Amino acid sequence: MGGKPRTGAPDAMAREVVRPPMAMLVLAAMWGATLLLAPPAADWDWALSGFRSVPLPARLGLVAAAVAVVALATRRLRARWAWSAAAIALALLVAFPLRDRIHLLADTDLRLRAIDVFAAGEPGVALLEWTRRLHTAPLDLVVDLLAPVGLVRAGLDPADAVSCVSALLALVFFAGLERLLVRLDVAREGRPALFAAMALAGTLEVFAGYAEVGGLVLAALVWWWVALLGSLDSRGRATRAALAWLALVLAHRIGLVLLPAVLWRALGPALPGDRPGARRWLLASTAAAAGVAYALSVVGGGAGQIAIDAGQLLRAGATPSLPRVLDFANTLLLVAPLALAAPFAAGRRALAAFARDRRAWLVAVAALPLLPVHWLELSAANGLGACREWDLGAALGVTATAGAAMLLASLPVPRLRGALWVLLPLLALQAGSWLALQADARAGEAWAVALAPRLLPAQRGTLFLFLGQRAMDAGDPPLAADYYERAFDLVPDPETGVLAAETRLMARDVEGARRLVARARVTGRPSATSLEILHGLDSLITSLEARARPAPAASPGRP
């Protein structure tokens, strides 16, 4: 591989490929073997188990897609329209055919139900209550809730409405990635492949009809990095950087964790082209943006929610344990695979030069606070488990990926191409497997149930409650009863006991219903409503048993 460029060929250097370091090849071999051979729904590497968890036809399609990605991304497509067409095709593919169908990740199911409720009538005062319940920031409320509601009222199905918003956010994100590559001075010959490498992470799932805030966060975050890494040589550019941060804060509270990076950009070491007056203006305009964000949070009740979230994080157990360390590692593998592989591809000299780059210091200042925050988020007892709340690391993933792109962009084009020839099929296979797993309802449910034992009891109870509701929506009371009873066993709660008893009765399991009614009566402090329902179930059970008894035989000798 490699060799001298051919004389007289102006783009020979662009076609030359230099073999990556041996460490990179060893890592790629281990990574590929794990992706292809890991057991389905593996407990210790759940981020990499998607490929083996989907049916064989899907696996064949994933391999074909990985080959196609490498073939397209390593070609020199000069025409801008070609890349625009490719970005649009990817956004539509992810948002519609590959969209999330199990709604098991984060609060996707709850948000879809909220969209349905709002679309059915005027939200009125209930809007603020739903805002608090869904923990929505102002921009999240408008883009991820009210926009789909408007599309549903226009005649779309709720899932299609969410997918339309997801596709638009994906296009905004892809446009930001393309602009970020220009900002990082990536050679034109290396942009297509590096663009694909940055886009192909598990974070693509947030654009897969995913009724959560992740897509909006990624779209806002990539443009924030575009603004922050540019030269601050005018008030206009400084204002754009402050507005990008404001958009991020109004999208999600994670923007507050990135405030130190904005302050570093204004007060820390200057980047080439910066002017002192513009940097001072960034500081002033950021302070004004913070005031606007606070005012809006007070109006929407978000200030109290931020305090609640902070308290929950501080109460989260930070003591390392093997399951928690594995969960943390898996989320990093899912959201930032390029960042984990880039140092092996770059080599020592490139890493040493990268450590001296002031832009790398800025990335470090942004990433370092995100690491402990993400650790605490995954450790919170009130969460849903790392494999369901992986998207909490999306901001960390994009930030780390921006740093990885900066490192790889410093390589000569032949070395960059050699590294990406190895990385791209692995990135495509891993991201595609995660998408395919969530797009297959049956495979996704089996995967979730298999990983349930690693969750805390409260988290498992929440999971089984969701699966019980899903089974009821599908018209399967026996399966719903099994899930509800498992949830009741894990978290004894009268309301859950009522659900389990009701579904047992719907499944014609009278004895099981009677047993659950008796348990629910003595569990905790049942509300008046629960006691009334339990009394009604008792009466219904007695009535059903009376009907099932055979009529008494007639006495002998009587007509």
pLDDT per residue as tens digits for the range 156-199: 999 999 999 999 999 999 999 999 999 999 888 888 899 999 99
pLDDT at 315: 57
* Within-domain flag for 452: no
Q: What average pLDDT does this structure show over 120-148?
A: 76
- 465 shares a domain with 429: no
pLDDT at 435 exceeding the cut of 50: yes
- 82 shares a domain with 183: yes
Task: Give the tens place of pLDDT for each residue, 459-481.
Answer: 889 889 989 998 998 899 999 99
- 496 shares a domain with 375: no
Q: How would you write 371-387 as a 3-class SS string?
A: HHHHHHHHHCCCCCCCC
pLDDT at 125 exceeding the cut of 50: no
Give CB contacts under 8 A, 24+ apart, made by 325-330.
Answer: 326/44, 326/45, 327/378, 327/385, 327/386, 327/387, 327/454, 328/374, 328/375, 328/378, 328/386, 330/45, 330/46, 330/47, 330/48, 330/386, 330/387, 330/390
Task: Give the tens place of pLDDT for each residue, 502-556.
Answer: 999 999 899 999 999 999 988 888 888 888 888 888 888 888 777 766 655 555 5
pLDDT at 434 exceeding the cut of 50: yes
Residue 536: give its domain's CATH number. 1.25.40.10
pLDDT at 302: 55
pLDDT at 122: 59
Reported pTM: 0.89
pLDDT at 559 exceeding the cut of 80: no
- 490 shares a domain with 387: no
| Rounded-to-integer distance, Cα 393 and Cα 95, Å | 20
pLDDT at 2: 39
- 394 shares a domain with 321: yes
What is the residue-averaged pLDDT of the chain?
A: 87
Q: What average pLDDT does this structure show over 29-41?
A: 89
User: How many C-beta neighbours within 10 Å does residue 306 have?
Assistant: 15
* Within-domain flag for 553: no
| Rounded-to-integer distance, Cα 194 and Cα 261, Å | 25
pLDDT at 12: 47
pLDDT tier at 317, thresholds 50, 70, 90: low
Longest Cα separation, the chain: 119
Domain boundary among 421, 445, 469: 445
pLDDT at 11 exceeding the cut of 80: no
Half-sphere exposure for 86 (CA within 13 Å, toward CB): 21
Name the burial class of residue 383, with classes exposed (0-12), middle (13-18) and buried (19+) by CB atoms within 10 angstroms of its CB: buried
- 296 shares a domain with 423: yes
Q: How far is CA 558 from CA 551, 552, 553, 555, in A?
A: 16, 14, 11, 6
- 227 shares a domain with 178: yes
* Within-domain flag for 226: yes
The whole domain housing 528 covers 457-546
4-18, 40-54, 407-421: which is most confident: 407-421
Cα dihedral sign for 301, 306, 307, 311? positive
pLDDT at 134: 67
- 221 shares a domain with 364: yes
- 487 shares a domain with 432: no
* Within-domain flag for 520: yes
| Rounded-to-integer distance, Cα 396 and Cα 524, Å | 41
* Within-domain flag for 395: yes
* Within-domain flag for 162: yes
- 73 shares a domain with 111: yes
Number of structural domains (the chain) is 2
pLDDT at 95: 97
Task: Give the tens place of pLDDT for each residue, 93-107.
Answer: 999 999 999 887 767
pLDDT at 305: 56
Domain boundary among 392, 414, 445: 445
pLDDT tier at 304, thresholds 50, 70, 90: low
Domain boundary among 395, 421, 445: 445
| Rounded-to-integer distance, Cα 93 and Cα 309, Å | 35
* Within-domain flag for 556: no
- 486 shares a domain with 360: no
Contact yes or no for 407/343 (Cβ under 8 A): yes
- 495 shares a domain with 410: no
67-81, 291-305, 519-533: which is most confident: 519-533
Q: Count the residues in the chain.
A: 559
* Within-domain flag for 498: yes
The stretches of 184-301 forming alpha helices (DSSP H) are: 191-199, 214-229, 235-251, 254-257, 259-267, 276-300
